[in-house]
Structure formats: structure tokens, C-alpha cells
Amino acid sequence: MLNQTRFGRYEVVSVLGQGAMGAVYKAVDPLIERAVAIKTINVSLSKEERAEFEERFYREAKSAGRLSHANIVTIYDVGETDDIAYIAMEYLEGESLREMLDSGVVLPIEMIRSIAARVASALNYAHEHHVVHRDIKPANIMVTPGRDVKIMDFGIAQVPTGSRTQLGTVLGSPKYMAPEQVAGQPTDGRTDIFALGVVLYEMLTGATPFNADNLSAIMYKILHEEPAPPSTVNARVPVAFDRIVSRALAKRPEDRYQTAREFARDLRGLDAASTREPRRSAARPEPVEAARAGGAPAEEPTTLILQAPKGRGGPAVERSGKRSGNREKIAALLGKVPVPKPLWLALPVLVMATIVILSQRPQNDDKMAAPEAQVLEVTPPSSPQSARPTAKAVAAAVPDVHEAESVRPPPPEVPAEATVMLAISPWGEVYVDGKRVGVSPPLSTLQLEAGKHDVEIRNLAFAPYRDTVYLRPGQSLKIRHKFR
């Protein structure tokens, strides 16, 4: 069928997709030079079954062709070629909602609300014209580059493809079937409402509400089990959606929204506050991280101020801090008098002050030299002559600047860190060493100390992801995981 070049008057341009039931082509209508999409359905029926098929197929397609709505793909024509039935419909650029969800993109809450409300509005229009889709699912919802939403495949949900036992069966995934479909009971517009509720649930949480390993288990859950509210599966979902989803997924049709208009109204009635994603408080940084981020130091350094003496006594030293110094401590800084707790941090300031005083002393003014000599004196003078040390003596008394720096206490060691980058789809709560650190996305980067760490990523709809990482200082590691 991939080699097909024409369906009726439509000339095939390219193949857009291939499935078990048929294919989708891009084609051109040569009469009006319009691009169309041709959807084909393989039909292998007996003569009796073919007559019934043709009657119902054209009836369904004719009904769908009457629909004219901004959110419904327009059907132009139907026909047959050999054993292949086809429908010519509006050709659109874009991608299906199924492709968007499978890509791992996280849809904004407001966009999810808008898509569901538009689909509900289109379904209400179709139901008012007595057309039921019966196969609403992400693959049948198209999103254009301009963010328009279109429902596809109206009129072919009940097209048979084989023996008479398949007549009336629903084509499509059983995960989106309503309980009455599973039980083989009559369907109506409320069947489409249930299916749209499943689609909304999947957009909000990244998983369908009735998941299992086999068809029987899926159908059992659809009939008997209530899914967890979306806000408990995905922490970023506002709780306002729980009530809407619960009503759309009611087991009994009479307990659901009775019209898709009601469904759309409730979705559009959510105000900005109720659709705002819940805020997640970020973990407080550790003390070391706070210091790195530019936080204020625990205690500001104390400044030393030297004052010239007012008499024959020793020099006065004052602090801008709470504690005051004395002459013995200054002498200790110069290395002459040992004290229990030397003020190492003040030494560079004192050395610089001494150098400035020496550089400003007049060479031939004995009256000014005497007081400055007292500042550098380390023992009480025994006579007026001994109170004036020579420049050589001063140089010997002042310790070398490099020597002072070499004995300065080293800064506290900061633990080396490594970077862990996260790429999680559709989302997951991240735990490191048993402690919750956030939800990814939006969380994309972690700064962790070097060493061993246990990383766990949880999404209640799937089995958790667990890994143990061994990080080296400065290492960058990427964790990529897609829940399936």
C-alpha cells in the first residue's frame, strides 16, 4: 500500500504515517489544487459484510462531513479503491497530542486546561449534531504550530475490519474506553466525555489512569477501580482538577457530565489562582553554601587604630570592636612578649601602620622623632637617650611581612562538590540520600558533595528509579530517565 500513487482523483505526494489498519498520506486534489490528508482503512470482508460495511461507513462519514467547527478536522470526501476505504480530510501541519506526550515535554497547566476545554467544546458541537466520536485519545487530537487544537477521525470509530464478530467494535486503545464500551452496552456522548477525562488525566500526570500489563487487567480496572486523584500523582497539579477529572471518569454514565458543554464550562471556569502550579519551597542552603552565595560573615574583622601618645607614657591602642588592647599585646604582636592568645589577624595592620609612620618621620626633627619612637618601643625606657631606637633597631623589631603571612591560620576547608544534571520525563520527585530535594522538571541541577550518594526518583504512576552514584570533586554527571 505504500506504493499507492492515487486514491480516486487524489494524487499521493508522500506517506505521513503507517499503522496496523492502514496509512495516512499527503495528497493533492487536482481539481482545486488543494492539499489533503488521505486516511485509508484496510477492509477484508465477505460479500454480505461488505454491503453492511459500505452502508454504515458512508453513513458515518456523511454525518461527520456535516460537522463544521474550528476544533474539528473537516472531512472533504470518502471513497474506495479495491479493498481500501479512504477518507479525504483537511491537511494540517503540526503533531498529535500523542507525539507531544511521548516526546517527554511537560505541558504547562494552563495549556492542558485549554486543550481539554477546546476538545470538550468540539465534542459538544458534534453530539448536538448526533455524531459520537467513540475513539477520543491523544493520537486523534492534533495540535498545530499556532496551538490550535483539532479532533481527527470523526465517523470511522466503528468501521469494521474483518469478520462479522468485529462489527460494532471500537477501533483504538482500550485504555481510553468507557465502562459501557468494555461491557458491550450502548454508547452515547458521555462515552466521549469519559475518554476525554482519561486524556486530561494523562496530560496532567504523564500516565493513563487505568494501567496494567494485559488487556483483561486494564478492562477490570476500568470497570471496578478508582484512579488516584491527579494532584496526588503529580505534585504540580492544582487540586482544582481533581473534582473535574473525578466527575468525567465516573463509572456510571449518569454520574458523569451529562454534556460536554458542562465539562468545558468547568474547565474554563477555573480562574488563574486555581490553575497556578503549587509553589515548592526550596531547601535551605547549608552554612557553607550560604557563605559561598555572598552571605554576611559571622563576625566583622576588628580594626586597630594607633594614636600618638599624649604624655611620656606608652602609646595608646584602641579597637573599633568591643574589646580593647594594651601595650603588652602590641609587644606580643611584635614578637617580644609572649601571651597566651596572640592577635595574629591584627599583625598585618600594625606592620603597615608602622611603615607609614616611619615613612612620614622628618629626618632632622628630633622633637617629632621621640614620640614616634615610643610607639615602636617594646620595653620601658631606662633613660631619655635609650627611648630613641635607631632605624636599624626598628627594622630588627618589626617582623618580616611574608613571615607574618606564613603563620596566618589557613581558611576553613570547604567540601569539594560535584554537579548532577537531571533529565526526567515526564516528571519525578527527586530524593538524595533519603531526603527530598525537589521535583524534576523544573529542577535540573544538583550540587552535591563528592562521595557516594543514593539517588531515587519517584512517580507514583510507575516503578521508582534508583541509582547509587560516586562523585569526584568537580565532576559533572547527568542522570536521564523516562518513566514508562
Range of the domain at 467: 417-482
> Is the same domain home to 421 and 349?
no
Is 300 part of a structural domain of the chain? no
Positions marked catalytic: 135
Is 12 in the same domain as 158?
no
Residue 410 inside a domain? The answer is: no
Q: Is residue 303 part of a domain?
A: no
* Same-domain status, 331 and 188: no
Residue 62 located in a structural domain: yes
One digit per residue, pLDDT tens: the chain, 484 residues? 456 788 889 999 998 887 656 788 999 999 998 999 988 876 666 677 667 666 767 777 777 788 889 999 988 888 887 777 888 889 988 889 999 999 888 889 999 999 999 999 999 999 998 888 888 999 999 998 888 999 988 755 554 444 333 333 444 478 999 999 888 888 899 999 999 999 999 999 999 999 888 888 899 999 999 999 999 999 999 999 999 999 999 999 999 999 999 999 999 998 665 666 555 443 333 333 333 333 333 333 433 333 444 444 444 434 444 444 444 543 444 444 444 445 555 566 566 666 656 555 555 444 444 444 444 444 444 444 444 555 555 455 555 544 444 456 665 555 578 999 898 887 788 899 999 888 887 788 899 999 999 999 987 667 889 999 999 998 989 898 888 7
Alpha carbons 178 and 199: distance in angstroms, whole number: 12
Residue 441 to residue 439: CA distance in whole angstroms:
6
Contact 454, 466 (CB under 8 A): yes
Same domain assignment for residues 107 and 249: yes
User: Is residue 118 located within the same domain as residue 237?
Assistant: yes
Is residue 288 situated within a structural domain? Answer: no
85 and 155 fall within a common domain: no
Q: What pLDDT, on the 0 to 100 scale, is given for residue 111? A: 93
Amino acid in the structure at residue 88? A
What is the count of structural domains for the chain? Answer: 4
Domain shared by 79 and 108, yes or no: no
The three three-digit cell numbers of residue 412, written as one number: 576553613
Which CATH number is 466's domain given?
2.60.40.2070
Q: Phi first, then psi: what are they for 107, rounded to 5°?
A: -75, 135
Q: Identify the pLDDT of residue 160.
A: 42
Same-domain status, 114 and 246: yes
Residue 467 lies in a domain: yes
CA gyration radius for the chain? 40
**Per-residue DSSP letter, 386:** G
Asked if the structure places residue 274 within a domain, the reply is yes
Residue with cell 454504515: 56
**Are 339 and 427 within one domain?**
no
CATH code of the domain covering residue 73:
3.30.200.20
pLDDT of residue 121: 96
For 316, the enclosing helix (H) or strand (E) is strand 316-319
Residues 201 and 340 in one domain: no
C-alpha–C-alpha distance, residues 377 and 375, integer Å = 6
pLDDT recorded at residue 390 = 53
